[in-house]
Amino acid sequence: MIAASEYISSSENETKLIASDISQKLKPGNIVALIGQLGTGKTFLVKSICENWEIHDVTSPTFSIVNQYSGKINVNHFDFYRIKNSEELCNIGFEEYLMNGKAVTFIEWADMFPEILPKDIIIIKITYLANNKRKITID
């Protein structure tokens, strides 16, 4: 697990530096829940982390529900935003993605269906602060 920590970002470049730090701490089998309001930068953070693993084609999985990427570390990237109920996740084999253990799994909007998430997840919360700053908290 990653130790609890807090970062403040005032720009995309600062977020990329934070992502670089986070990327060094993650390993296959980690499940990362991303929580934050619309537009806080959840997808940007995932994209920036993945760039450190030589993955450069990251896009939001809002419409596809899950994207998979291969690089130095493999990635499953979920977005729960358009999911209506947890049964939809069961139908696409969500639990199998989690049990794989060979990829880091990112889940945007993870707080929509907390009942389907395992207990041992890394939670990253992104919140707006004044002047376009964001606080990135890892629990």
What residue numbers bound the domain in which 113 lies?
Answer: 5-138
pTM, whole model, 2 decimals?
0.95
Per the structure, how many domains does the chain have?
1
Which tokens go with 107? 């889940």
Condensed to tens digits (0 to 9), the pLDDT of residues 97-119 reads 998 899 999 999 999 999 999 99
What is the domain-level CATH number for residue 25?
Answer: 3.40.50.300
- The Cα–Cα gap between 54 and 126 comes to 24
Flag whether pLDDT at 74 surpasses 80.
yes
Average pLDDT of the residues in 5-24: 97
DSSP helix/strand/coil, 36: strand
